[in-house]
A and B are shown apart, each in its own frame.
Chain A
Amino acid sequence: MPDEHGMSMIPGESLLDPELQQSVILTKVQWVKDWGRRHALWPMAFGLACCAMEMMATAATKYDLDRFGAGVFRASPRQSDLMIVAGTLSHKMAPRLRRLWEQMPDPKYVIAMGACVIGGGPYSKFGYHVVQGVDLVVPVDVYLPGCPPRPEALIDAIRKLQFRIQERSGETLPDMPQGLPQDPTDEDGEETSAA
């Protein structure tokens, strides 16, 4: 169980000298690694079409993606660990996307942003040039529907990815949703009735 600082309490910890407890933090190496990873996701700028506008808006001042540690957009795959594929992926681009994904160091994550990268979107049926889903080319961690998704939705997708990263080390986070996410307020901040 994490305490209120999110730090893991090891069984048997209470046997330690109380003075020692105040100066020493006991935790798991995997937990610290994942903690670092989830707070320093460096996205690779992969804007392919209109969805990229929302991605840029998310990174800009109003929505400030830096609050979640994911605002350092890199122009090189070698410096990034998160690929936000935002836009329409054409068949001509697909091999390049695959190659750039392969150049990213492990561990690496992919967010499929928008209807186009999830399944072809408006071009799915007759767009001969559009790949019908980026998951045909690279594995996807989080699917983010919308045409385009709002910046809030992209922030939510990044939070989901952060939960996912931390989940791997077997930890639950204090603010991690249990089961289906429950939002008691509507868009205007008013309480919505349960009925």
Chain B
Amino acid sequence: MAEPSDSPVAAAADPVTAKALEALQAALPDAVVDSVLTGQHPWIQVRAQDLRATCRLLRDDPALRYDCCHLISAVDFPAPTEGEPHIDVVYHLVSYVVRPEASYAKRAEKNDPFLAIKVSLPREKPEVPTVLDIWIGADWHERETWDLMGVRFTGRAELPRILLPEDWPGHPLRKDWEFPASYHGVPIIPPEGL
């Protein structure tokens, strides 16, 4: 990602995102842990127990109306420079009501960034409440995050894998995932062996 100073629009905080942060701090004073509002990908980190309330507020606030959960991703930190090992789950939100611009390039041009909501989860037991009832489109993203990163989304009826076979060993995008010696009789040469 480019340094914020490289971009002519990046230095200023995005006004809609700033409004979102204000609304969050007013409604849920303890929820916000950290935030960066500049750049093309501003983010707000909230506590995991406040995630659902945060999401509801962002979706329903008439000035914000984040009506689309564009993407859910996760980042693995097995040995962070500070703090405990953790996994961050990142929700990328878009408001097609307040800002109907659909293309990512156009959004960047007009400084209409996506908003990322982050939660940090303990690495041994990453569990976060589902947002499936808030954005129905979150369904496949939650399944994918479970499939590849092993983050449990609680409160939904079932959480099957989406891409890998049901009996696949582990969650391969974890940084400490080990290649199995073989899968269904097909041998696998791990990266060190090649």
Contact = CB atoms under 8 A, between A and B. Distances in A.
A126 B186 contact: no
Given A125-B191, A132-B187, 20 more contacts: A91-B165, A91-B183, A91-B186, A92-B163, A92-B164, A92-B165, A94-B184, A94-B186, A95-B184, A124-B194, A125-B194, A126-B191, A128-B172, A128-B179, A128-B188, A129-B164, A129-B172, A131-B186, A132-B188, A137-B186
A129 B165 CA distance: 10
A36 to B, nearest CB: 35
A91 B165 CA distance: 8
Interface residues of A, number: 13
A91 B191 contact: no
A132 B182 CA distance: 11
Nearest to B188: A132
B33 interface: no
A91 B184 contact: yes
B189 interface: yes
A92 B183 CA distance: 9
B115 to A, nearest CB: 31
Interface string A79-96: 000000000000110110
A25 interface: no
A129 B183 CA distance: 10
Interface in A66-121: 91-92, 94-95
A125 B165 CA distance: 20
A91 B179 CA distance: 13
Nearest to B172: A128
Given A94-B184, A124-B194, A125-B194, A132 B165 contact: no
A124 B188 CA distance: 10
Instruction: Report the interface size class on chain B.
Output: 10 to 19
Contacts of B186: 91, 94, 131, 136-137
A57 to B, nearest CB: 28
Q: Identify which of B172, B184, B186, B191 gathers the most chain A CB atoms within 10 Å of its CB.
A: B186
Contacts of B194: 124-125
A28 B152 CA distance: 67
Interface string B75-104: 000000000000000000000000000000
A167 to B, nearest CB: 30
Contacts of B168: 91
Nearest to B173: A128
Contacts of B172: 128-129
A5 B125 CA distance: 75
A111 B163 CA distance: 27
A129 B168 CA distance: 10
A127 to B, nearest CB: 10
B182 to A, nearest CB: 9
A179 B78 CA distance: 56
A57 B8 CA distance: 46
Contacts of B183: 91
Contacts of B165: 91-92
Interface string A25-52: 0000000000000000000000000000
B42 to A, nearest CB: 31
Interface string B13-43: 0000000000000000000000000000000
14 contacts: A91-B168, A91-B186, A92-B164, A92-B165, A94-B184, A94-B186, A95-B184, A125-B191, A128-B179, A128-B188, A129-B172, A132-B187, A132-B189, A136-B186
